[in-house]
Each structure stands twice: as C-alpha cells, then as structure tokens.
A and B are shown apart, each in its own frame.
Chain A
C-alpha cells in the first residue's frame, strides 16, 4: 500500500515538475535601453547617466520580461525586430533639495527629486507602445545615485504593468 502511494506521488511529481520549472515564453525577444540624456538645465554628474543606464539594464534583466537585454546600439536581425523593444528617455528635472528645509519644515519639503520621461517603442516600426513618467523623491542627505536606482525600478515596474495590461484579453 505504502509503495503504491509513494509510486503515485512520484508519478504526480514527475508529471508536474517540468511544467512548473518551465518559464513562460517572454512576449518580446529582446529589449534595448539607451542612455538617458539630460535636458537643458539639469545639473547632474556625467556619471549619473551611466549609472542610471546600468541600473535600468540590471532591473530589466531581473524582471525576466524579455528574452534578452541588449547593449546600446547592438545589431538586431531584421526578423527579430518586431519582437524587440527600445527604451529611450530623458532626465527632465533634477532638484538638489535642501537639508535645512527638510529638517525645519519636513512633510516632504526640501526633498531631492528627479523626473524622468521615457518612451517604449517597437524596433521594427518605431510604434510607441507606452509612455512612462517617473518622479522620484529621496532625502537630500542621500547620494544622487540612489535616485537612479529608484527611478530604474519604477520604470521597469511601470513597463511591466503596461505590458500586462496590453496582453490581458478585453
């Protein structure tokens, strides 16, 4: 009896485990994130753009939404272009914040803030799939690169939500 039960359990596990282990096929084969340039008047260090780009790529890889996260300006086969996305964006605003204001007033006053606008387009026809607006606020004591991290997380989260909404049957 015991052997029979164990055998049944093993058979059930053998049948279901491969199905669980198999990741669902990603909707898009690849995605390419570009460096986000700074709009006029945005005073950030030149390294910030590099850091934001690296964080964005790391978050895109973590999200597992795409088969491959391509490097900037990488050659893509014409056959794969309809299943490939390109993320372009601009850092539109950066406010340094004020420690004094933050300490004396509080309630969000004097916070360091960053605004980023991004567009996600299909590579083949440049059709805009979604527009992303991100506004990140952190303490003025924190490093500006922490904002890049938060912004990258936010961009990928919004992208995930919009792709999910697009694939949902109406």
Chain B
C-alpha cells in the first residue's frame, strides 16, 4: 500500500514536470508575418578602388555564430525574426555591393579573388537596456585561385538605436539597427585598409606568370631535418 502511494506520487511529479516543460516550450516565440522583419541595405556600399580592376567571386557564406535560432533576433514581446537566414542576407548584401561597382565575377573561373565569409554575429548584442545594440561581425578569407595563396581579414559593424514601448516601434528600431550595423560591417570590409593590404599581398599582375598552385615536393629529409647522406 505504502509502495503504491510512493509510485503514485512519483507519477504525479513526472506529470507535473512534463506539463511544465510543455508550457515552457509553448512560451517560445514563433515566426509570423507580423513579427518578421526584412533586413536589406538601404543603398549599396561603394567598395574602394584598387590599383587595377579586380573581380571577386563569393564562394560561400558560412554561419559560425553557433546560435540555435539564427533567425530570431529578439526574444521578448513575442519575438522578432528575420525573413531570411543571416547567411543569405550577408550573401545578398555583399553581392549587391560588388555588383554595383562592377566587381562581381560571373563565375569562379573568371574571378581574380575568391571570397569565403564566416559569419560570427548577426543581430542584436547585449546592451545597457536603454537601447538596442546591433552587431554584425564576420571574417573573410580571400584566396587567389592562380597562386592558391590566401589571407583572412575581419570586419565588424555596430549600431545603436533607441528603445521603444510599442511592439511596432520596437520592430522598426530593431530592423533599422541591424540594417545600419550590417551596412557598417560591409563598409568596414569593402572600404577598409585590411582589404587593401590583403589584395596588395595576394594580387598577381596579369602580365606576370603566376606561381604554380602546388609547389614542388621538397627533397626528402631525415627526422633530424638533415638531407640523407649519400652512399
């Protein structure tokens, strides 16, 4: 009888835990047309001019943020969601900017430099509570397909926007904040000294013969690093 009562109690606790977890899961905001925002550049960022006209090809944009819900940018008040993944938005933004300056290669083969973007942060970051702090951060690997040499540069963009009380205004402020941070990050990349230096280091003038992609194998060495003695 006593054992039966304990078992009943355990079942009740289990049921209560299950119900609590179900309600907690129900509290997670879901994307709807009302709480979804569309982030895009207000106008394309004009890239800097290089010593010779160059063509870039965007190979891939990889999300390295580690976020379980990359499209949710704001959790309270029913949540705010992006309509596309941060990778898609970044790809579209970067391609628009390069296309506007006639720097986007049609395909991989015709490109002077290949770009691979690793996205670390896209959306809102911790703020003081009195404003929204938009932050976009990524690293870009530039690769010269002719020489197979590559370099990595980082870019980041930040923006501050005021808080609001009404949901509609919160959504508007968050959208503007992320758009500004995104534009700032692209500007930091395309007009930055880091890109200029990386391009200067990787670019090979077209009249010079390119170095072979695979260097010849070095002569066999012993474990000590010395070439084996003849005979």
Contacts and interface: CB of A to CB of B under 8 A. Distances in A.
Interface of A: 47, 50-51, 53-55, 57-58, 71-75, 143, 145-146, 148-149
B70 interface: no
15 contacts: A47-B126, A50-B158, A51-B128, A71-B157, A71-B187, A71-B188, A71-B191, A73-B188, A73-B193, A75-B192, A75-B196, A145-B126, A145-B127, A146-B130, A149-B130
Given A71-B187, A145-B127, A146-B128, A53 B158 contact: yes
Contact of B133 (A54, A73, A75): A54
Nearest to B183: A71
Contacts of A54: 133, 135, 158-160
A58 B158 CA distance: 10
A146 B128 CA distance: 6
B21 interface: no
B158 A74 contact: no
B218 interface: no
Nearest to A144: B128
Nearest to A51: B133
A47 B126 CA distance: 8
Given A50-B156, A71-B191, A146-B130, 9 more contacts: A47-B125, A51-B127, A58-B160, A72-B188, A73-B192, A75-B193, A145-B129, A146-B128, A149-B131
A30 B80 CA distance: 35
Contacts of A71: 157, 184, 187-188, 191-192
A53 B156 CA distance: 12
Instruction: Name the 9 nearest CB pairs between A and B, nearest first.
Output: A145-B128, A54-B158, A58-B160, A71-B188, A73-B193, A75-B48, A146-B128, A74-B191, A143-B128
Contact of A148 (B125, B128, B129, B135): B128
Interface string B184-211: 1001100111101000000000000000
B166 to A, nearest CB: 22
Nearest to B137: A50
